[in-house]
Structure 1
Amino acid sequence: MRVEELSGDDAAVYRAVAEREDQDGAPHLQDLARQAGLDLERTRAAVDRLQHADPKLVHEVPDTSRTDLGPTYELAPRT
């Protein structure tokens, strides 16, 4: 799957990851949901699809801030 082929929730979440990553570093799921204008369940589903796309478009990064908000997400490196 290519970024240009994304639509709907997947496109909104991908854009949210890209925008938040540039501003504040890797965002949490809650941050992505707010940015994309989606509820947590739809955001989680979109993140899952983006993580399992071929090639992978988003990847999970452990949260080092110890805020207990769960993992953060970044755009996957392009090869």
Structure 2
Amino acid sequence: MRVEDLSGEDAAVYRAVAEAEVGVGAPHLQDIARAAGLDLERARAAVHRLWHSEPKILHEVPGAGPTDLGPTYELAPRT
């Protein structure tokens, strides 16, 4: 999967993560959902697809700290 081929909810989630990284840093799922205009479950499904794509488009930030908000996500480095 290539970033250029994303559409719909996957593209909205990608944009939400990219914009958050520039502004406040790696967002939590709740922040991604809000910025993408999706409910939590639809955002979770899009994050899952992008996280498990080949090549990987998103990744979970390691050691983001123990919070009740869950992990944060960043764009994977493009190769």
**TM-score when normalising by structure 1:** 0.93
Cα RMSD for the two superposed structures = 0.9
Aligned to 1:21: 21
**Deviation above 2 Å: which 4+ runs of structure 1?**
none
Which structure 1 segments of 5+ residues have no match? none
For residue 58 of structure 2, what is the aligned residue in structure 1? 58
- Per-residue Cα deviation, 1:18-44 (whole angstroms, up to 9, x for no partner): 000110010000000000000000000
What is the alpha-carbon distance in structure 2 between the residues aligned to residue 35 and residue 67 of structure 1? 20
Question: Runs of 5+ in structure 2 lacking a partner?
Answer: none
Q: Percent identity?
A: 76
The aligned length equals: 78
Aligned position for 1:12? 12
- TM-aligned CA deviation for residue 68 of structure 1: 1.8
Aligned to 2:37: 37
TM-score, normalisation: structure 2: 0.93
